[in-house]
Amino acid sequence: MSWSEIIGQPVAVRQLQNAVKRDRIGHAYLFYGPAGVGKRTTARIFAQTLNCLESGTGDVCGQCRSCLQSKAGNHPDILEITPMGTSIRIQQIRDLSREALFRPLAGRHKIFLILGAENMTLEAANNLLKILEEPPAYVVFILTTTANLRLLPTILSRCQQIRFAPLTVQAIENYLVQQEAVDPVLARQMAHLAGGSLSEAMELRQEIQTEKSLREAALEMLTQMGEEDSLAALLRFKPWEERSQVKLLLQVLGLWFRDLMIWQKTAEERLLVNQDRLDLIRRHAHLWKQADQVLSLIQDARQKLEKNANIPLLLEVFLLELFEYRGGLVSASRSRGPL
């Protein structure tokens, strides 16, 4: 592992490397931010750096005994605590507290990575607080969380907090193309769908490749909806009733109508996600004249999906409402307004 593996988090990386360079290591850190943006990977690399026998520059040598043990995941002084089932339990923190009494065996620090710290039970959190108040000098805690406000304020106050921002679309797209050899067109779509999360993009990779025909089926449906005064195209789409499929459908449609709105307002090809379907975008821009209103409809459906709405009913109502927007037929008084 090395710091070059961290993408899109220059501020966090700089803060941590500077702490090592200046030998100003805190006893507890909290890495917080959305899922899939590099918190866990950064925690492991930071732990490796702290115990690197050759470190002093803020980087890792990757060759010393300590680095090799870290990379292999069997360093005796780096321990990870993760939820057992749905929570981190008090016994896990009690075991951690006992282990913290023993000095490091191979490195400079005894390091505890508490991954998903928001999942600690109240009893576990209170037990951790005791050792955070007076930790041994050689101990470093690194907590990661997607929900820092769910942690006790007293724990937050005893940690140096490092924010991890959502990744940019460009950062995810570059990674997929350069490191995963993903087709550039597919990578661009995945990056826009991922919501700033690299792990979400990686999950979407298999899903989109498996469901690659979904976009084409959705575009065919939109074309027929726009050109025909019937519900035939809509009814053919009814089999898509699994939650994961409907979620992906709404994401795909959201990107498509985003492109239509941008094309209608700017005609700038470089701003489009679906650049490989430019001819159809031009065509749909005339068939679906209220793209901004349809985006509002899609956003409403996505919010209902997140609230566990009935899938068949949600899909049926959504498609019926979508059908009304073909050719710009919805009157201004009924339009939802832009997002």
CATH number at residue 85: 3.40.50.300
Range of the domain at 229: 211-328
State the Cα–Cα distance between residues 233 and 69, nearest whole angstrom.
Answer: 58
Q: What is the C-alpha end-to-end distance of the chain, expressed in Å?
A: 42
Asked if residue 102 is part of any domain, the answer here is yes
Instruction: Give yes or no: residues 267 and 142 share one domain.
Output: no
124 and 51 in a single domain? The answer is yes
Alpha carbon distance 38, 49 (integer Å): 16
- Does one domain contain both 215 and 83? no
How does pLDDT run across 9-24, given as a tens digit for each residue? Answer: 999 999 999 999 988 9
Strand ordering across the sheet containing 160-163 = 78-81, 110-115, 139-145, 28-32, 160-163
The two three-digit tokens of residue 23, written as one number: 């030998």
Residue 110 phi, psi (nearest 5): -95, 115
Rounded to an integer, the average pLDDT of 218-223 is 84
Boundary (domain end) residue, out of 165, 187, 203: 165
**pLDDT value, residue 78:** 96
**Which tens digits make up the pLDDT trace of 40-67?**
999 999 999 999 988 667 788 888 899 9
Specify the number of domains making up the chain.
2
Q: pLDDT tens digit string along 156-198?
A: 999 999 999 999 999 999 998 998 888 887 788 788 888 888 9
My answer on whether 10 and 140 are in the same domain is yes
What CATH number should be reported for the domain holding residue 292?
A: 1.20.272
Burial 56-87 (b: 16+ CB within 10 A, else e): eebbbbeebebbebbeeeebebbbebebeeee
> Do 123 and 42 sit in the same domain of this protein?
yes
- With a cut of 60, say whether residue 337 has pLDDT above it: no
